Amino acid sequence: MPPPRPARTRTGRPPVTSRAQIMEAARRLIDRDGWEKLTLRRLATELGIGTTTLYHHVRDKEDLMVQLITDHADRMPHPELPDNPRERIIVAAIAIHDALAALPWAAEALTVDGFLGRLGDTALWHVETIVAGAVAHGCTPEQAVDVFRNIWYYTVGEILVRARTANHRHLDREKLLNQQKLRFDNRDSTQLPHLAAIGNQWPTLASRDIYPQGLRAFVDGLLSHATTDTAPLSR
Amino acid sequence: MPPPRPARTRTGRPPVTSRAQIMEAARRLIDRDGWEKLTLRRLATELGIGTTTLYHHVRDKEDLMVQLITDHADRMPHPELPDNPRERIIVAAIAIHDALAALPWAAEALTVDGFLGRLGDTALWHVETIVAGAVAHGCTPEQAVDVFRNIWYYTVGEILVRARTANHRHLDREKLLNQQKLRFDNRDSTQLPHLAAIGNQWPTLASRDIYPQGLRAFVDGLLSHATTDTAPLSR
DNA sequence: ACCTGAACACCGTTCAAGT
DNA sequence: ACCTGAACACCGTTCAAGT
């Protein structure tokens, strides 16, 4: 296989940057200043290039963010898979979750249309594992896709909600103090007895990580529903 | 209780707008031009007032969006509750889901910290119903909160993902055409056999509404896990 | 081939001044 | 009491022109 761009054939002005350099600088910027500060202008300054040069490498800002996530996702290690199909689903889902949880800023891009389709084969291997696990457990391909989609919704929701409640790294000190904590102890205890009883315990309870247990319960429910239904949904 | 502001006592310049008028205009703007076009400047123009006047009624843009959602949520009708606790949870969750699905633009505000705490008693009644249903089924209060949180993650995730894939009302025609549909038929069929087999069927499968079935499976899984565990999680 | 500054069309937010 | 324009400090994106 010949080098795609032989040096002798190259003509015109040489590139000042590359896709890899852009992605690296973007990650550096996010780590240093927080993801809210990732703008094309700042990114160009970080790279020491003109802002508009970035448009040779990314279509627009959304494209930059999606590339950032899919790059990260495609570097995910494949976890060891257990024999049990149900457990394989759990392991793959947790791997997806953990990979995305490392990018809590990903919120905006995570729900972009066609996001899954832009993942590389390495990241899709996790999707494949979940679908294959469901089929191995006795699901039809349609049901297996539903299993994946349901897990995907749950995983995305957990990450988006928790990313904004947990990570206060980049909030002003003042805003943090003013922030009214979620508490139900001043609520009408006649109308909302259980919430009133929980009262100011809610924030403590809500800070616990329940993803793995929730996932297990969900997968159990999905698999038993799928294989119990004698007549799969018509049409 | 005396009227909070007797007319005779009022002094100074009279208000040009009210919170209710602002909310109404914001909803009108979103309905007409799409939620991406909701800006404080446009909203002020819609109302025929100065932009900065809005800052007397909302703290900032996020506050405006949260107020918009909580207003909407607090007008939710209470659904009829069945006798079965499990079914009560389902009915309340679907009510929450449907109320939020009517505001697909809500994404940004839905995951704001302390969002639940800003809901009024009418909207919280649905949360109460879910927690109460779980307790009636045999959960501890802690487990009941976990049940709610898990349902919340799933519901938020479903709405955020589907809001961006389904609703193409406000996309340019061109962007829609260029959009690469999610399809796996050109994937490596050795590495990803199940996805390759599904191929271009994925978009069709993914467009089906699976929330109610997924919810039922999840609730079943959550309730049976909670009441099967002989030893609830320590600490 | 590739890069760029200038310009366009916007944002949210602050604040001193006006009525 | 309440409202406001002007200004600040930014955005993403386009495009004609430069090397």
Domain with residue A92: its CATH number is 1.10.357.10
Same domain assignment for residues A38 and A77: no
Q: Which long-range contacts (CB under 8 A, 24 or more apart) does B37-45 make?
A: B38/B65, B38/B105, B40/B64
Residue B60, CB, strand C, below 7 Å: yes
In angstroms, the CA A226 to CA A143 distance is 7
Position A32 in a domain: yes
Chain B within 8 Å of A217 (Cβ-Cβ)? yes
pLDDT, residue A81, reads 97
Those residues with Cβ within 8 angstroms of residue A158's Cβ, 6 or more apart along the chain or in another chain: A97, A211, A214, B153, B157
Dihedral of CA atoms B180, B184, B185, B186 in degrees, nearest 10, equals 70
Token readout for B59 is 């703290």
Residue nearest to nucleotide C3 (CA to C1'): A53
pLDDT tops 80 at residue B170: no
pLDDT tens digits for range B44-85? 999 999 999 999 999 999 999 999 999 999 999 999 999 999
DSSP string, A172-220: -HHHHHHPPP---TTS-TTTSHHHHHHGGGHHHHHTS--HHHHHHHHHH
Same domain assignment for residues A110 and A198: yes
Same domain assignment for residues A150 and A114: yes
Position A1 in a domain: no
Same domain assignment for residues A41 and A99: no
Same domain assignment for residues B139 and B212: yes
Instruction: Give the predicted TM-score (pTM) of the model.
Output: 0.88
Nucleotides of C under 7 A from a protein CB: 1-6, 10-16, 18-19
Chain A residues 72-91 with a CB less than 8 Å from chain B: none
In angstroms, the CA A90 to CA A88 distance is 5
Same domain assignment for residues A42 and A90: no
pLDDT, residue B110, reads 86
Position B51 in a domain: yes
Position A136 in a domain: yes
pLDDT, residue A103, reads 87
Helix (H) or strand (E) holding A91: helix A85-101
Give me the percent of chain A exceeding a pLDDT of 90.
63
pLDDT, residue B85, reads 98
Which structural domain, as residue segments, surrounds residue A114? 73-228
Position B166 in a domain: yes
Nearest by CB to B194, from A132, A149, A208: name it. Answer: A132
**A157, amino acid identity:** G
Same domain assignment for residues B45 and B78: no
* Beta carbons of A59 and A90 less than 8 angstroms apart: no
**Residue ranges, chain A, pLDDT below 70:** 1-11, 166-183, 186, 229-235
Position A63 in a domain: no
Nearest by CB to A149, from B107, B124, B206: name it. Answer: B206
Q: How many CB pairs under 8 A join A and B?
A: 200
Average pLDDT, chain A: 86
Same domain assignment for residues A198 and A92: yes
* Structural domains counted in chain B: 2
pLDDT, residue B181, reads 55
Q: Which long-range contacts (CB under 8 A, 24 or more apart) does B202-208 make?
A: B202/A145, B205/A142, B205/A145, B205/A146, B206/A145, B206/A149, B206/B165, B206/B182, B207/B166, B208/A146
pLDDT, residue A233, reads 46
Same domain assignment for residues B84 and B136: yes
Q: How far is the CA of A41 from the C1' of C4 (A)?
A: 13
Same domain assignment for residues B133 and B170: yes
In angstroms, the CA A155 to CA A97 distance is 6
Q: Which is nearest to B210 in space by CA: A157, A142, A88?
A: A142
- Residue B13: which pLDDT band, with cuts at 50, 70 and 90? confident
Neighbouring CB atoms inside 10 A of A51's CB total 14
pLDDT tens digits for range A193-215? 999 999 889 989 999 999 999 99
Position B217 in a domain: yes
Same domain assignment for residues B97 and B185: yes
* Beta carbons of A69 and A106 less than 8 angstroms apart: yes
Same domain assignment for residues A47 and A87: no
pLDDT, residue B11, reads 67
Chain A within 8 Å of B174 (Cβ-Cβ)? no
Position B99 in a domain: yes
Q: Which is nearest to B69 in space by CA: B53, B58, B85, B83?
A: B58
CATH number of A36's domain: 1.10.10
